[in-house]
């Protein structure tokens, strides 16, 4: 290479790759001939790595700034003063808003306008977060939806149990403990409401008996109740029915609230039967 060519090449490499005099000299032999580009390659690799590191750093700063601004807006909008950030902040806000919704109405919380509004806000935030955050939000939603459904299951399971006329301990606390054990058995299943009826699910599919027929909610109640309680016979119902409501100071319940209270305060199965039949005679 001529001296002019060497000077021109060195100027280019010095400007673009920031190579110093020693690095430039390593490219030529003693005769001034270009023999190796190793130093130039190393310099270019270092330049690319540095650019990549700077770009990543800028991207992370940008993400953090976007997330911080959005979190600040969420805190201001929902009146949250917590130091929580990210998914923990969303969890906190969702829990607080759901409590407000449940205190105002017994309607399905997932259909409430405030819930839907918050869900929309959280979806926007999730676009800037990773998959782990999204999974936590979905698990929280599923938990609340499952608890809301189980509240309905619990009410119906107790109502069906009352219809079966179980023989409960005379001690009210013991009776309540047995009822709690009975209702906990239903947590082993999932439920879906369809046309006003509860469909029993197991592993995401309708629960079936040994003959491949779907198990109804009423059948599940009977089977579960039978594992915990004995039931009043026709003789005990007949005997209790001979006691006319209104006699000996007895006053039949006037509404469902009084009915539930008198059923809890009854000390014997016979007293429960008397209360139940007197209430049913008034509601027919």
pLDDT beyond 90 at 224:
yes
User: In this structure, what token pair is assigned to residue 236?
Assistant: 């005990």
Residue 184 has pLDDT above 90, yes or no: yes
CA separation, residue 8 to residues 3, 24, 90, 170 (Å) = 9, 12, 60, 105
Output the pLDDT for position 2. 78
- Long-range contacts, 88-92 (Cβ 8 Å, 24+): 90/122, 90/125, 90/133, 90/137, 91/136, 91/137, 91/140
Give the 3-state secondary structure of residue 28. strand
Higher pLDDT, 215 or 249: 215
In the chain, the DSSP E strands lie at 166-167, 190-194, 197-202, 205-206, 230-231
At 214, is the secondary structure helix, strand, or coil?
Answer: strand
- The secondary structure element, H or E, covering residue 104 is helix 86-104
| Extents of the domains making up the chain | 143-231, 232-284
Give me the pLDDT at residue 236, please.
Answer: 46
Containing 49, the helix (H) or strand (E) segment is helix 38-78
pLDDT tier, 222 (very low <50, low <70, confident <90, very high otherwise): very high
In angstroms, rounded to a whole number, what is the distance separating the alpha carbons of residues 142 and 135? Answer: 11
CA distance between the termini of the chain: 112
Contacts of 162 (CB under 8 A, 6+ apart): 263, 276
CA distance 2 to 237: 119
pLDDT in the model for residue 78: 78
pLDDT tens-digit map of 132-157: 777 788 888 888 888 999 999 999 99
Helix (H, G, I), strand (E, B) or coil at 170: coil
Identify the band that residue 242 occupies on the pLDDT scale cut at 50, 70 and 90. Answer: very low
């Amino acid at each position: 290479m001529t001296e002019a060519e060497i000077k021109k090449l060195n100027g280019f490499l010095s400007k673009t790759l920031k190579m110093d005099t020693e690095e430039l000299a390593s490219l030529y032999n003693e005769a001034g001939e270009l023999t190796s580009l190793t130093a130039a390659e190393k310099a270019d690799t270092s330049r690319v790595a540095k650019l990549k590191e700077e770009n990543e750093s800028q991207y992370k700063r940008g993400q953090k700034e976007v997330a911080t601004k959005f979190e600040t807006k969420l805190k201001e909008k929902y009146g949250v003063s917590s130091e929580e950030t990210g998914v923990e902040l969303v969890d906190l806000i969702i829990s607080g808003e759901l409590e407000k919704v449940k205190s105002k109405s017994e309607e399905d919380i997932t259909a409430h306008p405030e819930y839907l509004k918050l869900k929309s806000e959280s979806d926007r935030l999730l676009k800037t977060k990773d998959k782990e955050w999204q999974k936590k939000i979905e698990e929280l939603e599923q938990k609340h939806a499952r608890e809301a459904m189980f509240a309905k299951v619990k009410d119906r399971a107790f109502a069906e149990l009352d219809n079966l006329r179980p023989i409960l301990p005379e001690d009210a606390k013991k009776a309540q403990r047995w009822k709690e054990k009975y209702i906990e058995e239903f947590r082993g299943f999932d439920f879906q409401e369809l046309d006003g009826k509860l469909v029993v699910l197991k592993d995401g599919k309708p629960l079936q008996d040994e003959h491949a027929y779907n198990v109804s909610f009423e059948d599940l109640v009977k089977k579960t109740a039978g594992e915990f309680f004995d039931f009043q016979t026709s003789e005990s119902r007949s005997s209790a029915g001979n006691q006319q409501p209104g006699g000996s100071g007895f006053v039949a319940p006037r509404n469902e609230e009084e009915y539930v209270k008198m059923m809890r305060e009854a000390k014997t199965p016979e007293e429960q039967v008397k209360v139940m039949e007197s209430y049913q005679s008034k509601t027919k």
